[in-house]
Amino acid sequence: MSSHDDPLTLLDEKNGARQLADRTEYHTPAPAGTSAMVETTHEVRVTTPANVCGMGHRMKRKEDPRFIQGKGNYVDDVKLPGMLYMAIVRSPYAHAKILKIDSSAALKIPGVVAVITGEDLKNAGNLHWMPTLMSDTQMVLPIEKVVYYAQEVCVVIATDRYIAADALEHIVVDYEPLHALIDPFEALRDEVIVRDDKAEKTNHVWHWEAGDKEQTDRVFDEAAKVVKQYMYLPRIHVSSIETCGMVADFSKITGKLRLYMTSQAPHAHRTVFALVSGIPEQKIQIISPDIGGGFGGKVPVYPGYVCCAVASIVTGRPVKWIEDRSENLQADSFARDYHITAEMAADKDGHITGLRVRTVADNGAADAAANPSKFPAGLYSICTGSYDMKAAHVVVDGVYTNKPPGGVAYRCSFRVTEAVHMIERMTDIMAHELGEEPADFRLKNFIKPEQFPYKSPTGWGYDSGNYAGALNLAMEMIDYRALRQEQLEKRARGELMGIGISSFTEVVGAGPSRDYDILGIKMFDSAEIRIHPTGKAIARFGTKSQGQGHETTYAQIIAEELGLPASDVDVEEGDTDTAPYGLGTYASRSTPTAGAAAVMAARKIKAKARKIAAYLLEVGEDDLEWNVDRWQVKGSPEQAKTIQEIAFAAYTNHPQGMEAGLEATDYYDPPNLTFPFGSYICVVDIDKGTGEVKVRRFVAVDDCGNIINPMVVEGQIHGGLTMGLAPALFEEIVYDENGTNLTGTFADYLLPTAVETPKWEIGKTITPSPHHPIGAKGVGESPTVGAPPAIVNAVVDALWHLGVRHIDIPITPPKVWKLLREHGVTD
Ligand code: MCN
Ligand code: CUN
């Protein structure tokens, strides 16, 4: 066989030519020097009374009255006088030369104001290309060729949305179809080049490694048992309630460009717009109102946004662009598309000793993932998960294909979903191969509580954890041993029942400034708190809630620290003219970064309040102690000043020489990431006649450190588990051999409904983060990261005795039905 028949050998040749130059540069960070071991508890800590409603209270979400009454303010609700509408001509080919674009007929339609093409953008100052968040380049509008199906080709601006949509059909584009690369392994042969705009004529974009290769190879040489498995995690796509969109409003008088935009990261987007367009940054205002969910899909900058902003500048009028559902499903950022070959080694006692992973990442036509710059494969190198092992080596190669660019979006924590899927599948395969009980095998191999802070073989510094604590609780909740008994009895009767476990470790809260940036901007986050004379407060943040409940939980953090009732603290996010600079909400980073900033800003206020209280009470600062909402004299609690009294004094009667007012801002640079974790157990029954998998029970024990609002956390877990069920059983973006998207509607792209969703049974342990100021870790993505392998492990567990070792997601009835027939099951 020539090396060109084996794509992985071919990759070795290509990487050899690169001399693995990227390796040190992209090595994962050393652990931060934080902390000792912390205790695990089961009760949520509550220290403030109900009227204050600080941490631990199940406060109802402040944002919900407007959401459940249909009074949210989404981008599509923004209507400005004289507003025009934009619609996009999209490519019917995945790869084709553009010969000609004729817009003359469209321009004759009454109400059509303009058509903007790639040539127009080029003439306006080379705006036809834009940078991606990974410092790659991406076409805004093409001039020479299109590189994916449904790519933006040109845009129509009209006085009415219907006229704009109708005009699309009157724009004639002549294409010359080219061979479309859909398979990254074919792309690696470089017989057809996706990005011929680049100097290097190759589809192999980047190479990245973590861990120690030599040591890992040695561990494998010495292993008593090695298992190997290829797995594919297909492309999937988020389905927010609101699709992406923008209302751009450029004022020729002031030169200000106001952009109402579905943005998870308004400040970062403002900076990118300023750098690309040359418009001074203070002249750009991004307002991200209620955006109806983000899930990562509203982190990238899409061509539609740029065209919409340009259209407003060109016409001098506000312009609205709202994607329809099919456009959203066909052309926006995707997630996964990882081809993984993994090997796991174990010694003769059944201890995992090593992990070797080879991964091909299909980037689509540009590397437009939303990862921190130094991490082209995100935080995938967390893939040794919850298990203590001697060595690991992980290699990832990024490839261009003729599919939409992106990567990462889908509640994934920067590729941790892929890492968790792989390690939890491999652990189960190893347990089954060794004939060990999967729960016992995990308990034996977990990193132990006394090993924290733990340095992983790929360089991570886990802050705290108690993996056995979570798994034991989950086993107790579901009565695991009884289920195993039931399974044996069912199997004897020929029934197919499976039990699957996933004991995941997450990593969230990017991130420490020495390693984490996006386009060079460090990944800190911010909080600004202002207390008014009457003791009411407004707090603003650099993050941006898309449904996570920040208006409630940030207020609770401030209530906890200052004793101001959470109902007296209004939280604002998403307006770059008012909020302090921050990197936005994704990768469950809000609590670890901006949440910590809220604490630090509140503590600055508390320090000033102490000075004011000492002045008012005519005592020394050292004579005072804090009690919930007041500074009181030690040993004489009746002598006290509440935070409200102090706030009033800050504007009316503060010490001579002190600045008036009571406010503070904090930009928080976390010392380390936080490492939430959990153990999920899933029970499935499989219908032999139809191949349908029914999730009968699902117990989820999560540990996100100290909890701010248990109800919000439970809500995050319910939603996140449903988003984990979805790719496990239903969701998949499918292309035909020409690269045409076959799943561009909800009739073809299947989401789970209430009918398919089981009753989630939730438990928790609490192992605080030792370096976060209130011991909290992020949680928003944990359930989506942790759930899919529990489901796959359950299905494989049901079928292992038939000879089935692995099934790729989504586990659809036809797939299972076929597999059953192949393994001799007929009814
Ligand atoms: N929380 C808490 N106690 C903790 C941790 C978190 O009470 N120990 C609360 C927080 O205060 C916050 C919520 O739980 O209100 C989620 O916090 P966090 O884990 O910090 O995550 P983020 O706020 O940064 O949210 C991002 C995360 C991501 S990356 C995706 S994707 C996702 C998710 O949240 N998208 C969502 N959850 C979503 N939920 C909704 N409704 N909509 C989305 O688009
Ligand atoms: Cu990966 S989806 Mo969330 O990080 O916005």
776 lines ligand 1 (CB under 6 A): yes
What is the distance in A from the centroid of ligand 1 to the CA of 74? Answer: 19
642 φ, ψ to 5°?
-75, 165
Q: Per-residue confidence at 408, pLDDT binned at 50, 70, 90?
A: confident
The percent of residues above 90 in pLDDT, for the chain, comes to: 95
Q: Per-residue confidence at 9, pLDDT binned at 50, 70, 90?
A: confident
What is the distance in A from the centroid of ligand 1 to the CA of 202? Answer: 39
| 644 assigned to active site | no
Which of 411, 425, 442, 697 does the annotation list as catalytic? 411
Q: Which atom of ligand 2 is nearest to the CA of 412?
A: 1
CB 813 within 8 A of CB 702: no
pLDDT of residue 800: 98
pLDDT of residue 37: 75
Which of 63, 152, 506, 781 does the annotation list as catalytic? 781
CB 363 within 8 A of CB 401: yes
pLDDT, average across residues 38-48: 96
Q: Per-residue confidence at 377, pLDDT binned at 50, 70, 90?
A: very high
The 3-state secondary structure of 58-112 reads CCCCCCHHHHHCCCCCEHHHCCCCCCEEEEEEECCCCCEEEEEEECHHHHCCCCE
What is the distance in A from the centroid of ligand 2 to the CA of 477? Answer: 30
Which of 244, 308, 383, 412 does the annotation list as catalytic? 412
Ligand whose nearest atom lies closest to the CA of 58: 1
293 lines ligand 1 (CB under 6 A): yes
CA geometry: angle at 732 spanning 294 and 742, to 5°? Answer: 105
pLDDT of residue 754: 95
With a cut of 90, say whether residue 28 has pLDDT above it: no
With a cut of 50, say whether residue 25 has pLDDT above it: no
770-819 pLDDT per residue, tens:
999 999 999 999 999 999 999 999 999 999 999 999 999 999 999 999 99
216-238 pLDDT per residue, tens:
999 999 999 999 999 999 999 99
3-class SS of residue 430: helix
pLDDT, average across residues 567-596: 98
pLDDT of residue 91: 98
| Contacts for 646 with CB less than 8 Å, ≥ 6 apart | 609, 612, 613, 616, 631, 662
With a cut of 60, say whether residue 420 has pLDDT above it: yes
Nearest alpha-carbon partner for 394 in 234, 229, 211: 211
What is the distance in A from the centroid of ligand 1 to the CA of 671? Answer: 20
pLDDT of residue 582: 98
SS3 content of the chain, % helix, strand, coil (to 5): 30, 25, 45
244-296 pLDDT per residue, tens:
999 999 999 999 999 999 999 999 999 999 999 999 999 999 999 999 999 99
Ligand whose nearest atom lies closest to the CA of 714: 1
**How many whole angstroms from its chain centre is CA 582?**
16
CB 135 within 8 A of CB 190: no
549 lines ligand 1 (CB under 6 A): yes
**Letter for the amino acid at 186?**
E
610 lines ligand 1 (CB under 6 A): no
Q: Per-residue confidence at 29, pLDDT binned at 50, 70, 90?
A: low
What is the distance in A from the centroid of ligand 1 to the CA of 158? Answer: 38
What is the distance in A from the centroid of ligand 2 to the CA of 589? Answer: 9
What does each C-alpha distance from 720 to 85, 221, 652, 726, 754 come to in angstroms?
A: 35, 40, 48, 10, 14
| Best residue for ligand 2 mutational test, from 233, 291, 295 (most atoms within 8 Å of Cβ) | 295
Which of 53, 151, 152, 264 does the annotation list as catalytic? 264
With a cut of 80, say whether residue 27 has pLDDT above it: no
What is the β-pairing status of strands 84-90 and 319-322?
parallel
587 lines ligand 1 (CB under 6 A): yes
Q: Which atom of ligand 2 is nearest to the CA of 411?
A: 2
**Letter for the amino acid at 634?**
K
Ligand whose nearest atom lies closest to the CA of 582: 1
Nearest alpha-carbon partner for 259 in 295, 293, 283, 290: 283
| 476 assigned to active site | no
CB 1 within 8 A of CB 431: no
712 lines ligand 1 (CB under 6 A): yes
| Best residue for ligand 1 mutational test, from 588, 589, 593 (most atoms within 8 Å of Cβ) | 588
pLDDT, average across residues 180-203: 97
- How many CB atoms neighbour CB 436 within 10 A? 16
Average pLDDT across the chain, whole number? 96
390 lines ligand 1 (CB under 6 A): no
As a whole number of angstroms, the distance between CA 546 and CA 409 comes to 14
| Best residue for ligand 2 mutational test, from 240, 380, 412 (most atoms within 8 Å of Cβ) | 412
CA geometry: angle at 360 spanning 28 and 206, to 5°? Answer: 60
292-350 pLDDT per residue, tens:
999 999 999 999 999 999 999 999 999 999 999 999 999 999 999 999 999 999 999 99
3-class SS of residue 394: strand
pLDDT of residue 26: 45
What does each C-alpha distance from 318 to 260, 277, 574 come to in angstroms?
A: 10, 18, 20
520-543 pLDDT per residue, tens:
999 999 999 999 999 999 999 999
What is the distance in A from the centroid of ligand 2 to the CA of 651? Answer: 42
Q: Which of 25-29, 101-105, 235-239, 513-517 has the lowest mean pLDDT?
A: 25-29
| Best residue for ligand 1 mutational test, from 417, 548, 674 (most atoms within 8 Å of Cβ) | 548
- How many CB atoms neighbour CB 820 within 10 A? 22
Element (H, E) at 137: strand 137-139
As a whole number of angstroms, the distance between CA 423 and CA 410 comes to 19
416 lines ligand 1 (CB under 6 A): no
What is the distance in A from the centroid of ligand 1 to the CA of 780? Answer: 4
Length in residues, the chain = 827
Nearest alpha-carbon partner for 141 in 307, 297, 301: 307
pLDDT of residue 4: 53
The percent of residues above 70 in pLDDT, for the chain, comes to: 97
Nearest CA to ligand 1 atom 23: 590
| 244 assigned to active site | no
Element (H, E) at 344: strand 338-346
pLDDT, average across residues 110-122: 98
What is the distance in A from the centroid of ligand 2 to the CA of 419? Answer: 15
Q: Which atom of ligand 1 is nearest to the CA of 557?
A: 11
Q: Which atom of ligand 1 is nearest to the CA of 547?
A: 41
CB 766 within 8 A of CB 44: yes
Ligand whose nearest atom lies closest to the CA of 293: 1
In eight-state DSSP terms, residue 776 is B
Range 433-436 contact pairs with CB under 8 angstroms and sequence separation of 24 or more: 433/225, 433/227, 434/225, 434/346, 434/350, 436/350
| 264 assigned to active site | yes
> What lines the ligand 2 site, CB under 6 Å?
264, 294-296, 299, 408-413, 586-587, 781
453 lines ligand 1 (CB under 6 A): no
Q: Per-residue confidence at 1, pLDDT binned at 50, 70, 90?
A: very low
What is the distance in A from the centroid of ligand 1 to the CA of 713? Answer: 8
pLDDT of residue 5: 63
Q: Per-residue confidence at 673, pLDDT binned at 50, 70, 90?
A: very high
pLDDT, average across residues 639-648: 98
pLDDT of residue 17: 63
Maximal C-alpha separation, the chain = 89
